């Protein structure tokens, strides 16, 4: 339901030098020398959705697609098993397992589990890991599967942050995206979350959908600002191969997103959000102040460590990355053997870690430390600055407004 990588989890690049991990084979954890030393978070992947959105290529399943092979109950039992196994393997490492600074429950549609189900998920994390006293605990939610009682239950359970999939306030745009919620429900849900005691509430937007107009985007921004949220994520529509949307574009039923329109829409929403006191801190994210920033995602962008639990979830600890088997039934079968359900893993080389550092950090408002660049990167940085795509502030390379529109091009330049 969310528009970020693994919904809350950023996967910077595809596996490059993966080591196969067949069922019952070795775990990636013994290859670890230590934790990375940065923030440690846990991502929980809930693979269930009531319906499939036409633009979505995430690892999600409807009840009809799963049949009797998996259910929320069997998924939860497997999740508890994976968390127990991971904690046991981490405890065998030379260094102590760090406290969990952030938890992010994504999907899929986590709110389909209900307030009690999501409370059980957080209890399962607490049973095997120690949460920091000020841990940020986020769940994504579909506005249609929330209520005042739902938010009150989450707040009592220890959740601190809510992320709601809004996408647009225009009914015809939601129809193109195959979204099922009514245009006003996301704003109502955001207000209900605030009333339940959540200080930190995010609304997701997608811009550039075929048929969307400037007036549609303005209406969406009006609704977001009226909701009183302290965080907004906004993503340009990407037509992913294999999705229903891609098939409609290929058949000529819908036009492909126009790059010039996407750039104009980004500038339009950025200006409105900045004027309203929501400031960009990552190319696609705006927050009212430092406390409103999503600490979990900052952990990804800053090169922290995280355990990803659930079908298809990715983990990254100490330069080792692994990814779980995708299908919920196969995932549960692997967990039942007492092993981590990894489908594969890789130990990142120094070059790969450098690439990911540049790719992710340059997108932040705080910028990329120039000392992190190699000699060729520093030469390339001078070209980026000369082209007006970034500027040097003290010892950091920071994107200009134009550079944010061309962030991917900046990354390519820095890495060539």
Spatial separation of the C-alpha atoms in residues 393 and 400, rounded to whole Å:
11
Please check whether residue 108 is in contact with residue 48, taking contact to mean a CB–CB distance below 8 angstroms.
Answer: yes
Spatial separation of the C-alpha atoms in residues 92 and 89, rounded to whole Å:
5
Q: At what angle do helices 114-128 and 72-91 cross, to 10 degrees?
A: 20
Q: State residue 251 phi and psi, 5-degree precision.
A: -80, -5
User: Whole-model pTM above 0.75?
Assistant: yes
- Give the CA distances from residue 47 to residues 73, 203, 315, in Å, rounded to whole numbers and listed in that order: 12, 21, 16
Contacts of 393 (CB under 8 A, 6+ apart): 367
- Secondary structure of residue 105 in the 3-state scheme: strand
Spatial separation of the C-alpha atoms in residues 346 and 16, rounded to whole Å:
8
Instruction: Give the pLDDT of the chain (416 residues) as one tens digit per residue.
Output: 433 334 444 443 444 444 544 444 568 987 887 888 789 999 999 999 988 788 877 888 888 888 888 899 999 999 999 999 999 999 988 888 999 999 999 999 999 999 999 999 999 999 999 999 999 999 999 999 999 999 999 999 999 999 999 999 999 999 999 887 788 999 999 999 999 999 999 999 999 999 999 999 999 999 999 999 999 999 999 989 888 888 999 999 999 999 999 999 999 999 999 999 999 999 999 999 999 999 999 999 999 999 999 999 999 999 999 999 999 999 999 999 999 999 999 999 999 999 999 999 999 999 999 999 999 999 999 999 999 999 999 999 999 999 999 999 999 999 98
Check: CATH 1.10.10 for 349-415?
A: yes
Please check whether residue 101 is in contact with residue 135, taking contact to mean a CB–CB distance below 8 angstroms.
Answer: yes
Spatial separation of the C-alpha atoms in residues 49 and 111, rounded to whole Å:
9
Q: 40-302 has which fold?
A: TIM Barrel (3.20.20)
* Cis bond upstream, residue 52 (ω within 30): no
- Overall residue count recorded for the chain in this entry: 416
End-to-end CA distance of the chain: 35
Q: State residue 18 phi and psi, 5-degree precision.
A: -70, 145
- Helical H segments across 129-252, by residue range: 148-157, 171-177, 185-195, 214-227, 244-250
């Amino acid at each position: 339901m969310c528009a970020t990588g693994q919904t809350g989890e950023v996967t910077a690049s595809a596996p490059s030098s993966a080591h196969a991990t067949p069922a019952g084979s070795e775990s990636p954890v013994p290859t670890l020398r230590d934790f990375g030393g940065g923030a440690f978070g846990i991502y929980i992947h809930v693979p269930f959705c009531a319906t499939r959105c036409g633009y979505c290529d995430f690892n999600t399943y409807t009840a009809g697609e799963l049949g009797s092979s998996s259910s929320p109950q069997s998924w939860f039992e497997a999740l508890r098993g994976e968390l127990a196994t991971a904690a046991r393997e981490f405890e065998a490492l030379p260094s102590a397992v760090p406290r969990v600074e952030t938890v992010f429950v994504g999907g899929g549609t986590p709110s389909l589990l209900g307030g009690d189900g999501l409370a059980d998920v957080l209890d399962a994390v607490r049973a095997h890991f120690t949460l920091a006293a000020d841990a940020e605990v986020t769940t994504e939610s579909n506005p249609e599967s929330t209520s005042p009682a739902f938010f009150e239950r989450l707040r009592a359970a220890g959740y601190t942050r809510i992320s709601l999939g809004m996408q647009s306030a225009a009914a015809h745009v939601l129809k193109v995206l195959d979204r099922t919620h009514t245009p006003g429900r996301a704003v109502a849900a955001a207000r209900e979350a605030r009333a339940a005691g959540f200080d930190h509430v995010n609304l997701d937007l997608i811009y550039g959908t075929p048929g969307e107009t400037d007036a549609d985007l303005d209406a969406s921004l009006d609704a977001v600002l009226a909701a009183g949220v302290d965080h907004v994520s906004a993503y340009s529509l990407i037509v992913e191969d294999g999705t229903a949307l891609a098939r409609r574009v290929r058949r000529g039923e819908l036009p492909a997103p126009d790059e010039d329109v996407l750039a104009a829409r980004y500038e339009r929403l950025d200006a409105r959000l900045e004027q309203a006191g929501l400031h960009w801190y990552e190319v696609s994210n705006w927050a009212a102040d430092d406390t409103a920033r999503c600490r979990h995602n900052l952990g990804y962008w800053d090169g922290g460590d995280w355990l990803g639990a659930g079908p298809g979830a990715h983990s990254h600890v100490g330069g080792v990355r692994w990814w779980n088997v995708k299908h919920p039934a196969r995932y549960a079968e692997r967990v039942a053997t007492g092993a981590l359900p990894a489908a594969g893993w890789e130990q990142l080389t120094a070059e790969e870690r450098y690439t990911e550092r540049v790719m992710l950090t340059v997108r932040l408002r705080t910028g990329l430390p120039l000392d992190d660049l190699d000699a060729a990167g520093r030469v390339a940085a001078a070209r980026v600055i000369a082209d007006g795509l970034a500027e040097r502030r003290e010892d950091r390379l920071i994107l200009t407004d134009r550079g944010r529109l061309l962030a991917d091009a900046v990354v390519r330049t820095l890495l060539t």
